[in-house]
Structure 1
Amino acid sequence: MQSVFRFRKSSFSNPEVECVEIATNIPDIVAIRDSKIPEGPIIRLAPTPWNAFREALVTGAFNR
């Protein structure tokens, strides 16, 4: 299924720097990978946990 994901980087990313990429083109799956290893492992999540993780990042829940 890896080849059907359409990955993209954040619009905040420098296009020449590796980062995390996500794909949301498959219903009910958010796929996440490291752009340095495009053929490498892919984490697949349901949208609800992904959205909770994103919200925690935005609100600073992981900041110390």
Structure 2
Amino acid sequence: MSTVIWHKSSHSSSNGGDCVEVGINVPGLAPVRDSKDPQGPALVFLAAAWADFITDVQSGKFPTS
């Protein structure tokens, strides 16, 4: 994971809290980590599964309250 380029969520707060980062240069995969723990573990999803998850989140499939 040392060569992964990480992209922080645009919904992350500016004070460093609640940050999710996704690796953007790993073909076919979507590594995901907590930016507050960059040396910690990353979950790795198939890119298609991650894209489906993002679509479901954006469509409101998972209520926030």
Normalising by structure 2, report the TM-score: 0.83
The percentage of aligned residue pairs carrying the same residue is 33
Q: Which has the higher strand share?
A: 2
Q: Which has the higher helix share?
A: 1
> Which ranges of 4 or more aligned residues in structure 1 deviate by more than 6 Å?
none
Root-mean-square deviation over aligned CA pairs: 1.5
Normalising by structure 1, report the TM-score: 0.85
Matched residue count: 63
The one-character-per-residue Cα deviations of 1:6-37 (angstroms, maximum 9, x if unpaired) are: 11112343443230000120111111000110
What 5-or-longer segments of structure 1 have no aligned partner? Answer: none
Partner-residue secondary structure (3-state), 1:50 = helix
Partner-residue secondary structure (3-state), 1:60 = coil
What 5-or-longer segments of structure 2 have no aligned partner? Answer: none
